[in-house]
Amino acid sequence: MGRAMVFSIAVAMGMVLSPESLIVVGNGVGRGGVYFILAVSLATILYVPNVLVQSIATVTGGETRFLKATLGPVTAGASSLCSRVAFTMFALPVLLSTAGFVFNETFLYWFPNFLFAHLLLLFIAVVNLLKREAAEVLQVCFVVLVLGGLLFLSVMGIARPPEDYLVLAPAGLVGNLKAMSMAIVIFVGFDLMYLSGRKGADDARPAMTALMLAALVFTLWGLASLFNVPLLTLSDSTVPYSRAARSIFGQSGRLVVGVVLIAGVAAAVNALLMGVGRMMTSMATEGILPRVFLKGRDRDAAPIIFLAGSGAAFMLLGFAGDERLLVYMKGALLFWLLHYAVLHVAVMFALREKRGGGIFMMSLMGAVVFIVAFVGAVCVFEQKGELIRSMLYIMAVGTGVAAFQAYVNRNNLR
């Protein structure tokens, strides 16, 4: 396994291993038991068409250029802005505030949590701006810490037989469909690998490796949680990972999961800045974003400063713990699911003269799967009104920016 492949796997797993994914896994196990764990394996299979389509887009010159050529600049820009860019802006303060609280409550009580969050963001942004290779090495270190901690706690939790009788699932298959449907969101973000600049002929191999490794870790962690924590406790907790870690390994488990969470936040933030920053540079190159985002294009300087600056601004304004920001973040995450469907539709447009081909049929299946997943995720969300309202705002801004830039480009060509 070469260095490039190791770096690619680490970037692909960055967002997948974030604390938000661990919350989904913990709550999902609490509500669906073994059925949710089975759904994780099924979700991995459903992502296979995404991996292949992302590889096709990479070979044709990159996702941004491919979407622009097939669906037009407005659709290409709106889809990327409403999903990845919006998610990064809203997720950075949420993730970093989590790291700050964990550091404050687990390791140093006297250290201000938001100061830690800002310092962590500043450190990762500066490393990305100064030397991309150093950011890639850091990414590997962060991911190894997360994997090592989760695997250690999982083995400890599975090896120790449960003291009480286990309820493996609170209801039958049909009764657990709602919980199972959320398994598909934990793998959102694997495609940051394709955006971060590590491209090659074997792009599908590291992506598939990352998905399978993440599925294995989530399965083991889900079983360990299932064996050691009552389902009701997992389903209702906002920190199911902490409940499981304490039950498995006591106070030491709390320390281990603290390292896992901080490393998971760092991995997610680093992957988002690398991947989305490079994507925004590509969008500016293609005329989908203003040329100001081409400043320092070799290091993606302008996009990284914009994304990190927006995250810092949200934290300084006190939005990091605001429930509304969480809703906006989840709305952008669901748009990311829809973006996968858009990419499949783009492949279908490119192959519309070969409708019976295998790639066309695979993309058709992928588009249907992720449109259904998007609609289903919206329907099962508890605050549907707030979620839909936030998504409409995101869509209006993203589409407006893409349409305005297309209008400016048309006028410049006259």
Under a CB-based contact definition with an 8 Å cutoff, are residues 14 and 267 in contact? yes
Residues 248-272: pLDDT tens digits?
A: 988 899 999 999 999 999 999 999 9
End-to-end Cα, the chain, rounded Å:
51
Q: What letter represents residue 410's amino acid?
A: R
**140 is written with which tokens?**
């590997």
Please tell us whether the domain made up of 3-70+85-322 is placed in CATH 1.20.1740.10. Answer: yes
**pTM of model > 0.85:** yes
pLDDT of 79 above 60: yes
How many beta carbons lie within 10 A of that of residue 250, not counting itself?
Answer: 10
What is the pLDDT, as a whole number, of residue 199?
Answer: 52
Alpha helical stretches, state H, 107-191? 113-130, 132-159, 177-181
Please give the Cα distance from 26 to 111 (Å, whole number). 28
How does the average pLDDT of the chain come out, rounded?
Answer: 90
Percent pLDDT > 70 in the chain is: 93
Average pLDDT over residues 332-351: 94
Domain residue spans of the chain: 3-70+85-322
33: left (phi over 0), alpha (psi -120 to 50) or beta: left
User: Which residue would you say has higher pLDDT here, 200 or 263?
Assistant: 263
Residues 34-75: pLDDT tens digits?
A: 889 999 999 999 999 999 888 888 877 789 999 999 999 999
User: Which residue would you say has higher pLDDT here, 33 or 76?
Assistant: 76
What is the pLDDT, as a whole number, of residue 163?
Answer: 59
Helix (H, G, I), strand (E, B) or coil at 183: helix
Which candidate, 366, 362, 338, 348, places its Cα nearest to that of 80?
338
**Residue pointed to by tokens 């990159």:** 62
Helix (H, G, I), strand (E, B) or coil at 289: coil
Helix %, strand %, coil % of the chain (to 5): 80, 0, 20
pLDDT of 189 above 60: yes
User: Which residue would you say has higher pLDDT here, 394 or 108?
Assistant: 394
Residues 17-32: pLDDT tens digits?
A: 999 999 999 999 988 8
Average pLDDT over residues 334-346: 96
Residues 207-257: pLDDT tens digits?
A: 999 999 999 999 999 999 988 888 888 888 889 999 999 999 888 999 999
Distance of CA 402 to CAs 287, 288, 293, 389, Å? 10, 6, 14, 20
